Amino acid sequence: MNLSRNFTLSELTKSDTAIRKGINNNPNAEQIEKLKALCENILQPVRDHFGRVKITSGFRSVELCMAIGSSANSQHAKAEAADFECVGVDNAELADWIKDNLSYDLLRVES
């Protein structure tokens, strides 16, 4: 299922931990709509500007969040967050572009 022109549901829900531990990491219809908004408003514009976007963590069910030591209240569990990088683009440059060009709730830069 496509969430935007270049992002799929499977890309935003893939988790080796979920597979290894047999955790259901399938979002419900409301969460899928939120993932679509995330892709259309953040990830797709980033891809359109920088090229390839590598999702390192997208949607995580509450059970998956707990299994990896995250919070059940994580924005990942609410389908409102994704960790990603753009190959060949410095994280600070990426964050500056997002800050200057997109509307978002929380922007966290990890080095």
The pLDDT tens digits for 40-77 are 999 999 999 999 999 999 999 999 999 999 999 999 99
Shortest CA distance to 40 belongs to which of 82, 9, 5?
Answer: 5
| pLDDT at residue 20, as a whole number | 97
Q: Which residues contact 57 (CB under 8 A, 6 or more apart)?
A: 15, 76, 82, 83
Pairing of strands 83-86, 53-57: antiparallel
| pLDDT at residue 68, as a whole number | 96
What are the backbone dihedrals phi and psi of residue 93, each rounded to the nearest 5 degrees, phi first?
-65, -45
User: Hey, what domains does the chain have and what are their CATH numbers?
Assistant: 9-101 (3.30.1380.10)
| pLDDT at residue 4, as a whole number | 98
| pLDDT at residue 58, as a whole number | 97
